[in-house]
Amino acid sequence: MNKSLRYIALLAILPLFTTGLGNDYFTDVDALKSKGTATSQYGSSTNICGLDLCSNYPGGRAAWESSQDKVPPVAPVKETEMEDAMMEKEQSMMEETMEETESDLGSVLRLSRTNVPATIPMHQGYYNGEDVYFIITDSSDPTHAEIITANQGWQVELAPLLKNAPEKALSKTYMFTNGISGDGVHGYQGEVFTSTPAQPDVYSALTSHVHVTWNEGATSRVLDSEAMIMEAAENDEITLTSVNVVLNMPQIIWPEGQMMVKEDKTLTDETPYGGGQVLDIDTEEMTVTFIAHRGWGPDGRTIYYIVTDATPSGPAGMMGVVSAPTSASLIANSAAVDLYQFRNGLTGTGPLGFQPGIAAGAPGDANYSPMWRIFMVGWTDPTSAQILETIDDINAYKAAGLVDIGIARPMDSDHIVNCPFIDPFQ
């Protein structure tokens, strides 16, 4: 604990001593003063023998002085000695309480508004002729980020690194640039997906894109499956154009399922990660409400993130999110960024019950991505743990040998989590 915190702690506990000990202590001192040998009830000190009047001794003062040579006199307790003893005792108790106070302050770290609701607009698309409801949180392309942000009235973050994702980490999505008006990204019919979480071996929330444009003279209509799109292309009704854009489009509802909705919807700063990340799905208002978790950006700024999917299946099931095995291909890819979580040390509101995590990038940074490669930070001596808030903090303590860092491999598998960083208060 630094000096300022120590001083604050001292100020906080001083009233306890002045209340619990002070009154008795000062009462005792006053009592000693009232019984002192120099008080006026005995008159002149020359007539006093010890603690009594000399006239009460046979032989008077001379006899009393003679007796003092045989029995060592007992010195009366001085006020200053009593005060010193009491002060030493009080100081000892204060130090013990200070140690307890420092221990308490150094063992628990709870941020305010650690878990807050975040309501996000949903979009409607198709998979094999059936409805899919999804959200759009990130774009590798600034133009698409701006267009979608304006259309949905909710911020889409720019994540240029997503362009580096390998093909096997992406699922193809068709976007319409003309034709039937609708809720699609470009103002026309909804997007058509080629997979859902019901096909975990090929599903990914990260989507590559093919623009679908109706040719002049063709009669536009809703195409709600990849098969229908391929047929229209073969009939020369539409033109397909691959676009070098990757969007993060986690699916919320799909033909054979939906994301888990948390049973206990009451949020506190201690709400656990388990049991689901979604509080409500409203297909009438076209919104979904996630739990937004608080943490730190690389420079200590406050960030909030939601969790939509993860790999492997164990952590995904624990958090109540979609299992997305295809994300494992990002483990050594620059489309994923490092996120540091703590496995011991200060008790707190992080996913493992310790201090919140620290990300290597945040929205607005060139290296931001919603796809996170998880590293675990462990204190070599957990009793000496302190609050770390920045990447520089982590690096400095690692260099000093105070913490060790290792990549997380639950179930002995590559671990990637889709955690879009968002502003829950927009």
Cα(419)–Cα(413) distance, integer angstroms = 18
Q: How sure is the predictor about 272, in pLDDT bands with cuts at 50, 70 and 90?
A: confident
| Residue 71, both tokens | 């029995």
**Mind listing the pLDDT tens digit for each residue in 221-264?**
999 999 999 999 999 999 999 999 999 999 999 998 999 999 99
Write down the H helix ranges in 338-426.
391-399
Average of pLDDT values for 69-81? Answer: 47
Give the pTM. 0.75
Distance of CA 272 to the CA centre of its chain: 11
Last residue of a domain, one of 68, 94, 109: 109
Q: How much is the pLDDT for 21?
A: 31
Q: Is residue 283 part of a domain?
A: no
For residues 73 and 124, membership in a common domain is answered with no
For residues 163 and 104, membership in a common domain is answered with no
For residues 93 and 120, membership in a common domain is answered with no
Percent of the chain with pLDDT over 90: 70
Last residue of a domain, one of 94, 109, 124: 109
Q: Is residue 266 part of a domain?
A: no
Q: How sure is the predictor about 290, in pLDDT bands with cuts at 50, 70 and 90?
A: very high
CB half-sphere exposure, 179, CA atoms < 13 A? 28
Residue 67 host element (H or E) = helix 60-68
Q: How much is the pLDDT for 112?
A: 79
For residues 397 and 370, membership in a common domain is answered with yes
What's the chain's Rg over C-alpha atoms?
Answer: 36
Q: What range defines the domain where residue 89 resides?
A: 3-109
**Mind listing the pLDDT tens digit for each residue in 102-155?**
344 445 666 778 999 999 999 999 999 999 999 999 999 999 999 999 999 999
Q: How much is the pLDDT for 319?
A: 95
**Mind listing the pLDDT tens digit for each residue in 50-71?**
545 555 556 766 765 666 554 4
Q: How much is the pLDDT for 23?
A: 32
Q: How much is the pLDDT for 222?
A: 97
Q: How much is the pLDDT for 15?
A: 34
Cα(365)–Cα(360) distance, integer angstroms = 10
For residues 105 and 170, membership in a common domain is answered with no
For residues 104 and 121, membership in a common domain is answered with no
Length reported for the chain: 426
Give 343's contacts (C-beta < 8 A, 6+ positions apart): 352, 354, 376, 377, 378
Q: Is residue 184 part of a domain?
A: yes
Q: Is residue 281 part of a domain?
A: no
Q: Is residue 276 part of a domain?
A: no
Strand 130-134 with 123-127, pairing: antiparallel
Q: Is residue 272 part of a domain?
A: no
How many domains does the chain divide into? Answer: 3
For residues 331 and 382, membership in a common domain is answered with yes
CB half-sphere exposure, 215, CA atoms < 13 A? 12
Q: Is residue 227 part of a domain?
A: yes
